[in-house]
């Protein structure tokens, strides 16, 4: 079966990558409007699919079900945070930002706060957020290639870099958008088909959402874990405190609403009405994956326990997929007591003899369930689609921040269309190289790294966007200091709470801050941002009248779209 899986995977990867390359060539652009916002001509339903693909990254496809699988009840922070954040973005921010009619988030912030300094700070925040986020995507690409195509992770990341660079540099937002439409359907098919097959195996119900809801599979898993000395799967706050669950959930929500690469997608449609329809379509498309993820988490954990626990380590290693995942270093078997029998319990337990990286749960689940090689290969192609779709959006967000917001709007406003397009493409190329480095040397597993990016978004851009729309008294001084301090505080706290090797010893300066760990610290950063912004804006000069009038115009509904910018 191994050879079949590898051959079929390679075939699907070649086919899908060929499609992405063709779209990049077909959609090649020669002007900045198409490069940055696809000419504002994307249909609402297509934009909805592109938003879903852009937003559902490798963290959603590869890592989220794994986190739910191992965290149990506490893993719902990712479901609640990411889906709640999207609703917050779609209903509270996106229509107003589209009505404003600019290219990027720093563009909105720079014009709303009538300051190039504020624009520059927002552009720097965008780069930090996007770099952190894209690190997780490149890691996801490397994981898929290392397992299914039997190439070194470095080679896999380089291949992914080359593909993304091709369609992003040539087609800009237009090429990225239509590529993401295809990538959405690849990834959603790749997640639903194996989930349905496994649901039928374990529950007798072919619809995974219904199998998870109306069967006793979750209770069976919970009982099985208790019998093995693990935490009860359905019990809350077994892995995280209640405060930390709340903080991480809120950080993910606010971070989602502040993600620059998702917000810019609402600029690619012709008017506010289309932006709202895009949001609605995207919510439907996103729900298809997010209602399947908890089911996969439960199914996967149940199958893994039955595969490993109380089984001969020799027999287990003879299973093809086990030996292949062991070679990647993401699955570890260690017969600590020398009895030849594996003991699968909590990873933190001294007696645990099975170590599984959360990022391999979704990718390995079809193999664990002994599904057909085609389905196994399809999941691999889906993982690549999820990672590459988000990576391309992030690369364009970074490119736009430098080429449009810094180069054109601040340093060289007289730049020609050709010069701006050239700088934009150069910046995508440079961003791909940086992203590839982080993919080869990742700062953590996919879901964790992405959560850091959301925390940075929550602490920097979200307060400035929200106050920019709903607080006419908010001024440039408040926004500039709020973004700067919120971003700096959160970034420093994340670094202090990360384990680093110093002189050969793992060192962690802080375990938490007020009981909140690195994944949730973005909430504290957001609170700091709001407080600083409010105090400074109330103790300095109010914005000019034309700015207040502009804010009022953005908020007041129009009878038709004809007056939109």
In tens, the pLDDT along 454-465 reads: 899 999 999 999
- Over range 182-203, report the average pLDDT: 91
Model pLDDT for residues 372-393, shown as the tens digit of each residue? 888 888 888 888 888 877 888 8
More confident residue, 523 or 13: 523
The pLDDT value recorded for residue 251 is 93
CA gap 51, 265 in Å, rounded: 6
Split at pLDDT 50, 70, 90, the class of 446 is: low
Listed ranges 134-138, 320-324, 555-559; the one with the highest mean pLDDT: 320-324
pLDDT at position 116 over 60: yes
Q: What are phi and psi of 304, to 5 degrees?
A: -65, -45
pTM above 0.95, yes or no: no
CA gap 297, 170 in Å, rounded: 38
The pLDDT value recorded for residue 443 is 60
CA gap 33, 24 in Å, rounded: 16
- Over range 1-19, report the average pLDDT: 77
Q: What percent of the chain shows pLDDT beyond 90? A: 27
The pLDDT value recorded for residue 506 is 62
The pLDDT value recorded for residue 448 is 67
One-letter-per-residue 3-state SS of 240-301: CCHHHHHHHHHHHHHHHHCCHHHHHHHHCCCCHHHHHHHHHHHHHHHHHHHCCHHHHHHHHH
Residue count of the chain, please give it.
565
More confident residue, 217 or 61: 217
Q: What are phi and psi of 331, to 5 degrees?
A: -135, 130
- Which residues are CB-contacts of 234 (< 8 A; sequence separation ≥ 6)? 72, 73, 218, 219, 222
- Over range 288-312, report the average pLDDT: 90
Listed ranges 171-180, 291-300, 442-451, 520-529; the one with the highest mean pLDDT: 520-529
- Over range 104-125, report the average pLDDT: 91
- Picking from 304, 297, 307, 306, the residue whose alpha carbon sits closest to that of residue 212 is 297
pLDDT at position 94 over 70: yes
CA gap 239, 534 in Å, rounded: 36
pLDDT at position 442 over 90: no
More confident residue, 538 or 274: 538
The pLDDT value recorded for residue 500 is 56
Residue pair 292/191 in contact by the 8 Å Cβ criterion: yes
Listed ranges 26-40, 407-421, 487-501; the one with the highest mean pLDDT: 407-421
Model pLDDT for residues 152-170, shown as the tens digit of each residue? 778 888 887 887 777 677 7
More confident residue, 252 or 505: 252
More confident residue, 135 or 474: 474
The pLDDT value recorded for residue 394 is 82
The pLDDT value recorded for residue 564 is 44
Least confident of 93-102, 274-283, 509-518, 550-559: 550-559
CA gap 490, 484 in Å, rounded: 10
pLDDT at position 560 over 60: no
CA gap 176, 20 in Å, rounded: 9
- Which residues are CB-contacts of 484 (< 8 A; sequence separation ≥ 6)? 121
Residue pair 335/313 in contact by the 8 Å Cβ criterion: yes
- Over range 51-62, report the average pLDDT: 79
Model pLDDT for residues 224-245, shown as the tens digit of each residue? 988 888 888 888 888 888 999 9
Residue pair 475/158 in contact by the 8 Å Cβ criterion: no
Q: What is the mean pLDDT of the chain?
A: 85
Residue pair 272/564 in contact by the 8 Å Cβ criterion: yes
pLDDT at position 67 over 90: no
More confident residue, 62 or 422: 422
The pLDDT value recorded for residue 499 is 63
The pLDDT value recorded for residue 501 is 52
- Picking from 450, 463, 451, 433, the residue whose alpha carbon sits closest to that of residue 529 is 463
Fold annotation for 2-302+370-555: Sodium/glucose cotransporter (1.20.1730)
The pLDDT value recorded for residue 469 is 92
Bridge-based pairing state of the strands 331-333 and 354-356: antiparallel
């Amino acid at each position: 079966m191994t050879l079949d899986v590898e051959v079929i995977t390679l075939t699907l990867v070649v086919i899908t990558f060929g499609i992405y390359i063709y779209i990049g060539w077909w959609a090649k652009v020669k002007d900045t409007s198409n490069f940055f916002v696809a000419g504002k001509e994307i249909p609402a339903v297509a934009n909805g699919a592109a938003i879903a693909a852009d937003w559902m990254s490798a963290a959603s496809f590869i890592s989220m079900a794994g986190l739910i699988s191992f965290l149990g009840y506490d893993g719902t922070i990712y479901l609640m945070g990411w889906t709640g954040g999207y609703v917050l973005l779609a209903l509270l921010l996106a229509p107003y930002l589209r009505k404003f009619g600019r290219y990027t988030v720093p563009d909105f912030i720079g014009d709303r706060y009538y300051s190039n300094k504020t624009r520059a700070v927002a552009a720097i925040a965008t780069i930090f957020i996007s770099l952190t986020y894209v690190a997780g995507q490149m890691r996801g690409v490397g994981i898929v290639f290392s397992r299914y195509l039997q190439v070194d992770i470095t080679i896999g990341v380089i291949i992914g870099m080359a593909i993304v660079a091709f369609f992003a540099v040539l087609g800009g937002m237009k090429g990225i958008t239509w590529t993401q439409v295809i990538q959405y359907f690849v990834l959603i098919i790749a997640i639903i088909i194996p989930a349905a097959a496994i649901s039928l195996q374990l529950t007798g119900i072919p619809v995974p959402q219904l199998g998870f809801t109306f069967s006793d599979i979750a209770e069976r898993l919970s009982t099985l874990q208790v019998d093995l000395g693990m935490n009860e799967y359905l019990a809350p706050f077994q892995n995280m405190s209640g405060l930390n669950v709340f903080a991480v959930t809120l950080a993910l929500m606010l971070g989602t609403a502040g993600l620059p690469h998702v917000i810019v997608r609402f600029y690619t449609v012709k008017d506010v009405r289309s932006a709202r329809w895009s949001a609605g379509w995207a919510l439907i498309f996103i729900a298809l994956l997010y209602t399947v993820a908890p089911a996969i988490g439960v199914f996967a954990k149940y199958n893994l326990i039955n595969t490993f626990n109380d089984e001969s380590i020799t027999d287990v290693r003879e299973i093809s997929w086990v030996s292949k995942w062991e070679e990647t270093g993401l699955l570890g078997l260690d017969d600590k007591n020398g009895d030849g029998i594996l003991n699968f319990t909590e990873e933190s337990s001294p007696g645990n003899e099975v170590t599984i990286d959360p990022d391999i749960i979704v990718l390995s689940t079809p193999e664990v369930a002994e599904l057909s090689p085609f389905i196994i290969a399809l999941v691999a192609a889906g993982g690549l689609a999820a990672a590459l779709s988000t990576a391309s959006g992030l690369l364009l967000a970074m490119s736009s921040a430098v080429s449009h917001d810094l180069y054109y709007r601040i340093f060289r406003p007289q730049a020609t269309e050709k010069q701006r397009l050239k700088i934009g493409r150069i910046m995508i190329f440079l961003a791909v190289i940086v992203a590839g480095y982080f993919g080869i040397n990742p700062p953590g597993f996919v879901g964790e790294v992405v959560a850091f990016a959301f925390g940075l978004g929550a602490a920097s851009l979200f307060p400035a966007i929200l106050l920019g729309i709903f607080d006419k008294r908010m001024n440039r001084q408040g926004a500039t200091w709020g973004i700067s301090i919120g971003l700096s505080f959160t970034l420093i706290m994340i670094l202090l709470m990360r384990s680093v090797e110093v002189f050969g010893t793992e060192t962690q300066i802080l375990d938490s801050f007020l009981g909140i760990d690195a994944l949730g610290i973005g909430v504290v950063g957001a609170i700091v941002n709001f407080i600083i912004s409010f105090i400074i804006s109330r103790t300095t000069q109010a914005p000019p009248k034309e700015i207040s009038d502009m804010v009022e115009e953005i908020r007041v509904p129009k009878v038709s779209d004809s007056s939109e910018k």
